[in-house]
Amino acid sequence: MSDRDRLLRLRVRIDDEPGELSTLSTTLADRGANVRHVRHDRGVGDPRVGGA
């Protein structure tokens, strides 16, 4: 993100399709961000069919 240590928590909803998480992590990496933790939880909220 920058030369300063920063922590940002994001909550995103992506399609449950092969490559979707890779696309998201590539987008973050292209902007200089690192992914430190991933939590995958299908039981939260009311996801649409095919969503994760």
Q: Residues 6 or more apart from 21 whose CB is under 8 A from it?
A: 14, 38
pLDDT value for 22: 93
Question: Mean of the per-residue pLDDT values for the chain?
Answer: 80
Domain region containing 33: 1-42
Answer yes or no: is 29 within a domain. yes
Q: Cα separation of 1 and 33, whole Å? A: 5
Question: Residue 51: inside a domain, yes or no?
Answer: no
Single pTM value for the model:
0.63
Q: How many domains, the chain?
A: 1
Query: In this structure, are residues 24 and 12 in contact, taking their beta carbons and an 8 Å threshold?
Result: yes
What is the rounded CA–CA span in Å between residue 29 and residue 23? 10
What's the rounded Cα separation, in Å, for the pair 5 and 16? Answer: 31
Note whether residue 50 is domain-resident.
Answer: no
